[in-house]
Amino acid sequence: MSYLQVNHLYKKYGDTLALKDIDFEIKKGEFVVFVGPSGCGKSTLLRTIAGLESASDGDIQLDGQSIINTHPSQRDVAMVFQSYALYPHMSVKDNMSFALKLAKRPQQEIEEKVSKVAKALKLDALLDRKPKALSGGQRQRVAIGRAIVRNPKVFLFDEPLSNLDAALRVEMRIELSRLHQELGATMIYVTHDQIEAMTLADKVVIMSQGEVAQIGTPLELYHQPANRFVATFIGTPKMNVLPVDSVSASDTTLDVKFNSDASIRLDASLFQGNADNAKAIGFRPESLAFCEPEDGDLKGDVEVIEQLGSETLTYIRTLSGETVVVRADPKFTPTLRQTIGVKLTPEKVYLFNQEEKSLNIYGEVSHV
Ligand SMILES: Nc1ncnc2c1ncn2[C@@H]1O[C@H](COP(=O)(O)OP(=O)(O)OP(=O)(O)O)[C@@H](O)[C@H]1O
Ligand SMILES: [Mg+2]
């Protein structure tokens, strides 16, 4: 059953349409991530749910009630910002108690809640410190703790980890996942980092230019992208996409010529009937293998090799000047400037039409 429902939501700033017909629902206890490039409307959507921005049109329902005209303080949501927004003159304990004091909760209840949450967040030894005497990670934990003690219906996080260094981000990410499970809380988390989205979310809402590009589990977005935008946004390094020159279709096969000098035969039953209109072909770096130049579906010259230890990324410049990235077995190391063949995995190929929609038929796939 849906817990938070966003219905045909629009937000205009003057002539800028920051949110366009946003429509989705969230179940109680779900961890939902809004992800997309800078300026796509993630924060605006989150702030509109929090009531910090007013909607231009549409409705938001929380737990069966419309909250669209409800004052932010009455919405029973708690927001955690990138900037932490702690009260600098208050101790950790007072920062965490503040909302409960405002709500005039009994002193004993406040003490109990704050101490329990402080323990869970490993802040119990820091309760008397002021925010300026804390590290970035500790401050962010106080900000999260302050939200948790309020026991809101929904937690709203706007890029809460982006001020932290890489190692601490990973640590806090795991901490948040754990907290989510422990609390059984409904959480919405905004990030532009697709790795954060993939690792944290039960459900990802991927946005582009004020619109929802696709909603799905992390693996659905990875394996079954609805369009070129999602296909290239999810996954690192990103999916290779090259222009298609022509497609000739038989009942059972599609022969795709692409990138001036490359071709591949695909199983027509994996694509929609109008796949002969394909304008672009996509394949992920991890679904490619090296071979002799004459055996490849595609060939090119090795331009850059990135050795990362656990994997090697090889950037190949094709004859038509496009770059293709291959994530290959680290045991196989091509040499720079060598001409090399690349074999595609036909059942892991994507085709996109003029409007950049995926032409693949996904059906019930098992993602193995
Ligand atoms: N107060 C405002 N007045 C006018 N335009 C605004 C306002 N706030 C946001 N916008 C515009 O709305 C669009 C969406 O902005 P928003 O802050 O929601 O993006 P975002 O996805 O959170 O980006 P980022 O990843 O950079 O934080 C942008 O084009 C932005 O310029
Ligand atoms: Mg933002």
Residue 359 inside a domain? The answer is no
Residue 363 inside a domain? The answer is no
**Domain stops at, among 198, 231, 264:** 231
Q: 3-state class of 267 per DSSP?
A: strand
CATH of the domain at 304: 2.40.50.140
- For ligand 1, pick from 34, 40, 56 the residue to mutate: most ligand atoms within 8 Å of CB: 40
Over residues 135-141, mean pLDDT = 88
Residues 216, 253, single domain; the answer is no
Strands 211-216 and 203-208: antiparallel
Residues 23, 134, single domain; the answer is yes
Among protein residues, the one whose CA lies closest to atom 17 of ligand 1: 43
Which residue carries 């071979």 as its tokens? Answer: 291
Residues 182, 308, single domain; the answer is no
Q: How many CB atoms lie within 10 A of CB 341?
A: 17
Residues 56, 204, single domain; the answer is yes
Residues 194, 255, single domain; the answer is no
How do residues 79-123 score in pLDDT, each as one tens digit?
A: 998 887 899 999 999 999 998 998 899 999 999 999 999 988 889
pLDDT for 57 equals 97
According to DSSP, residue 19 is labeled E
Reported as a pLDDT band with limits 50, 70 and 90, residue 366 is low
How do residues 174-209 score in pLDDT, each as one tens digit?
A: 989 988 998 899 999 999 999 999 999 999 999 999
- What is 118-172 written as a DSSP string? HHHTT-GGGTTS-GGGS-HHHHHHHHHHHHHHT--SEEEEESTTTTS-HHHHHHH
Residues 95, 207, single domain; the answer is yes
Could you tell me the CA-to-CA distances from 56 to 9, 13, 41, 183, 210 in Å, in that order? 8, 9, 14, 33, 13
- Closest ligand to C-alpha of residue 18 is 1
pLDDT for 331 equals 72
Residue 360 inside a domain? The answer is no
Residues 286, 324, single domain; the answer is yes
105 C-alpha to ligand 1 centroid (Å): 36
Among protein residues, the one whose CA lies closest to atom 27 of ligand 1: 38
Among protein residues, the one whose CA lies closest to atom 31 of ligand 1: 39
pLDDT for 4 equals 97
Among protein residues, the one whose CA lies closest to atom 28 of ligand 1: 39
Nearest to 345 by CA among 259, 240, 261, 274: 240
Residue 14 buriedness (CB in 10 A; 0-12 / 13-18 / 19+) = exposed
Q: 3-state class of 206 per DSSP?
A: strand
How do residues 47-57 score in pLDDT, each as one tens digit?
A: 999 999 999 99
Residues 46, 185, single domain; the answer is yes
Residue 102 inside a domain? The answer is yes
69 C-alpha to ligand 1 centroid (Å): 22
Provide the domain count of the chain.
Answer: 2
39 C-alpha to ligand 2 centroid (Å): 7
38 C-alpha to ligand 1 centroid (Å): 8
144 C-alpha to ligand 1 centroid (Å): 24
Are the C-beta atoms of 233 and 194 separated by less than 8 Å?
A: yes
- CA dist., res. 366 & res. 223, Å (int): 10
How do residues 202-251 score in pLDDT, each as one tens digit?
A: 999 999 999 999 999 999 999 999 999 999 999 999 999 999 999 999 99
Residues 215, 262, single domain; the answer is no
Task: Give bridge partners of residue 7 from the DSSP assignment.
Answer: 59
Residues 177, 290, single domain; the answer is no
How do residues 238-286 score in pLDDT, each as one tens digit?
A: 999 999 999 999 999 999 999 998 999 999 999 998 999 999 999 999 9
pLDDT for 37 equals 95
Residues 135, 264, single domain; the answer is no
- For ligand 1, pick from 42, 162, 206 the residue to mutate: most ligand atoms within 8 Å of CB: 42
Q: How far apart are the first and last CA of the chain?
A: 29
Ligand 1 near 192 CB (within 6 A): yes
Residue 214 inside a domain? The answer is yes
Residue 16 inside a domain? The answer is yes
pLDDT for 16 equals 93
pLDDT for 35 equals 97
Share of the chain above pLDDT 70, in %: 98
**Domain stops at, among 231, 266, 281:** 231
pTM of the predicted model as reported, rounded to 2 decimal places: 0.92
**Domain stops at, among 178, 205, 231:** 231
Ligand 1 near 66 CB (within 6 A): no
Burial pattern 204-226, b for ≥16 Cβ within 10 A else e, equals: bbbbbebebbbbbebebbbbbbb
Q: What angle do CA 132, 137, 139 make, to 5 degrees?
A: 40
Q: Where are the beta strands (DSSP E) in the chain?
A: 2-13, 16-27, 31-35, 57-62, 65-66, 77-80, 154-158, 186-191, 203-208, 211-216, 240-249, 253-258, 262-267, 280-283, 288-291, 298-307, 312-318, 323-328, 339-344, 349-352
pLDDT for 368 equals 46
Q: What angle do CA 364, 200, 208 make, to 5 degrees?
A: 75
Could you tell me the CA-to-CA distances from 21 to 55, 59, 197, 216 in Å, in that order? 11, 11, 22, 18
Residue 44 or residue 310, greater confidence: 44
- CA dist., res. 230 & res. 224, Å (int): 9
How do residues 24-40 score in pLDDT, each as one tens digit?
A: 999 999 999 999 999 99
By residue count, the chain amounts to 368
Residue type, 368: V
Residue 54 or residue 137, greater confidence: 54
Residue 366 inside a domain? The answer is no
Ligand 1 near 40 CB (within 6 A): yes
Nearest to 81 by CA among 137, 134, 43, 40: 43
Both tokens assigned to 49: 């749910």
Residue 362 inside a domain? The answer is no
Ligand 1 near 15 CB (within 6 A): no
42 C-alpha to ligand 2 centroid (Å): 6
Are the C-beta atoms of 154 and 62 separated by less than 8 Å?
A: yes
Reported as a pLDDT band with limits 50, 70 and 90, residue 364 is low
49 C-alpha to ligand 1 centroid (Å): 15
Q: Taking all residues of the chain, what is their mean pLDDT, rounded to a whole number?
A: 93
pLDDT for 24 equals 96
Residues 75, 200, single domain; the answer is yes
User: Residue 166 pLDDT more than 90?
Assistant: no
Ligand 1 near 48 CB (within 6 A): no
Among protein residues, the one whose CA lies closest to atom 4 of ligand 1: 13
What domain range includes position 117? 2-231
pLDDT for 309 equals 85
Could you tell me the CA-to-CA distances from 363 to 39, 62, 203, 345 in Å, in that order? 33, 32, 19, 19
CATH of the domain at 168: 3.40.50.300
pLDDT for 25 equals 96
How do residues 307-359 score in pLDDT, each as one tens digit?
A: 888 889 999 999 889 999 999 877 777 899 999 999 999 999 999 999 999 99
